[in-house]
Amino acid sequence: MLDIKFVRENPEIVKENIKKKFQDEKLPLVDQVIELDARNRAAMTEANELRSQRNTLSKQVGMLMGQAKKDPSKLAEAEEAKAKVKANADRLAELEKLEDELAAQIRRIMLVIPNIIDPSVPIGPDDTCNVEVQRFGEPVVPDYEIPYHTQIMESFDGVDMDAAGRVSGAGFYYLMGDIARLHEAVLAYARDFMIGKGFTFCVPPFMIHGNVVEGVMSQTDMEAMMYKIEGEDLYLIGTSEHSMIGKFIDQIIPEDSLPQTLTSYSPCFRKEKGSHGIEERGVYRIHQFEKQEMIVVCKPEDSMAWYEKMWQFSVELFRSMDIPVRQLECCSGDLADLKVKSCDIEAWSPRQKRYFEVCSCSNLGDAQARRLKMRVKGEKGMYLPHTLNNTVVAPPRMLIALLENHLQADGSVTIPEVLWPYMGGTRVLTPKH
């Protein structure tokens, strides 16, 4: 969310940014919110004037009422002053109600005006305009067939989509045996990998209040993603970033405690409404999965350096498991409204002969901090920190990449060396049929 003062003083910059994000339907909101802000500031000015007059008038009434006891001719003047005090009080109540109404309208609009994107972001309407920046590792297509990922899992008796469908419907799965163990091994390795980078491990709440949801994500994303608990002000998290950034709501953070670097494990729950939808056969796009996340809360001047470090951590992690990846810069139209800059890390799929998304790294500037009223107390006073997040691993997608890239001609799957300790020393998975 932008600062209303910035919008007021830079309306053309805000409008140009909206155009760059191909959201022209939001252009009228800029003038609308500026007009509401002017009315709100006028109401606040008048209210402050009435408050400053209140003490003077009250003293005047008291003085006149005292005089009226000795001189009845003063009573009319005292009653006139009392009437003025009441009229001012009534007007002040009207203005305070108006201020609340205008502030709510302003906030509703400000929540949907997109954040100012970084100048380095490529301009384009959708993800077809995302730009490949660099590749890491050599993508290989073997001379034998790579089956669909659930077929690979089924050869190890490692997945049951049919039973999950009967129990929960489409978008769920049972993982079993070696595949379930491999899933947990990846998560454990990712946890220790991030701890080794100096991040503090955390298991956060898996449900959050509505004001936290509003603080951490755009309204569009909220409707498409979040499951609400019926009858309660609680939502299931779509990623642990939601509750990890929410940890700092209404908090004053000492500057000397920055940066806050946290890595969190959680299950994630998503409606997955919209153009993508649920994948019926596989575990690529599903309603429930587990993930290791990284988040950083830092000084504004440090956020771009952290952004570079964070996506590089993802590359290092995947390459340590011999999985080829590439970095893809997200274009303006593919950025969620809160994001300043974002990139995807995509893993190579030898079956599809293309890359697919496995991590998403984002710098959100001070947008989440402003929404959540997070502040930093430094030597020069209070300021808003910047927040960043990135996927460490989301094992369903990681499993697809790992199984496809390590599948052998005989149907076995080699285990990357870094995972051996987490697999009890197992180095190769042998199919059961």
Question: Which CATH topology does 4-110 take?
Answer: Helix Hairpins (1.10.287)
Instruction: List, for residues 207-254, the tens digit of each pLDDT value.
Output: 999 999 999 998 777 777 899 999 999 999 999 999 999 999 999 999
| DSSP one-letter code for 407 | B
Banded model confidence at residue 279, pLDDT cuts 50, 70, 90: low
- Separation between Cα atoms, residue 91 and residue 136, nearest integer Å: 67
Q: pLDDT at position 306, please?
A: 98
Helix, coil or strand: residue 174: strand
Q: pLDDT at position 357, please?
A: 95
Mean pLDDT in residue range 127-134: 96
Q: pLDDT at position 8, please?
A: 96
Domain ranges of the chain: 4-110, 127-429
How would CATH label the architecture of 127-429?
2-Layer Sandwich (3.30)
- Concatenated DSSP letters for 274-332? SSS---SSSSSS-SEEEEEEEEEEE-GGGHHHHHHHHHHHHHHHHHTTT--EEEEEPPG
Instruction: List, for residues 309-358, the tens digit of each pLDDT value.
Output: 999 999 999 999 999 999 999 999 999 999 999 999 999 999 999 999 99
Mean pLDDT in residue range 263-278: 79
Q: pLDDT at position 283, please?
A: 86
Instruction: List, for residues 134-186, the tens digit of each pLDDT value.
Output: 999 999 999 999 999 999 999 999 999 999 999 999 889 999 999 999 999 99
The C-alpha torsion from 232 through 233 and 238 to 244, rounded to 10°, is -130
Banded model confidence at residue 12, pLDDT cuts 50, 70, 90: very high
Residues 6+ apart with CB under 8 A from 188: 422
Q: pLDDT at position 218, please?
A: 81
Mean pLDDT in residue range 278-305: 89
% of the chain exceeding 70 in pLDDT: 92
pLDDT, greater one: 359 or 56: 359
Q: pLDDT at position 359, please?
A: 96
- 54: closest CA among 78, 84, 96, 74? 84
- Separation between Cα atoms, residue 410 and residue 261, nearest integer Å: 43
Mean pLDDT in residue range 290-296: 97
Least trusted range by pLDDT, from 48-52, 173-177, 263-267, 301-305:
48-52
Q: pLDDT at position 58, please?
A: 65
Mean pLDDT in residue range 97-111: 96
- Separation between Cα atoms, residue 401 and residue 263, nearest integer Å: 22
Q: pLDDT at position 159, please?
A: 96
Q: pLDDT at position 83, please?
A: 74
Instruction: List, for residues 70-99, the tens digit of each pLDDT value.
Output: 566 666 666 666 677 778 888 999 999 999
Q: Cβ-count burial of 241 within 10 angstroms (0-12 exposed, 13-18 middle, 19+ buried)? A: buried
Q: pLDDT at position 66, please?
A: 59
How confident is the prediction for the chain on average, in pLDDT? 92
pLDDT, greater one: 31 or 57: 31
Banded model confidence at residue 277, pLDDT cuts 50, 70, 90: low
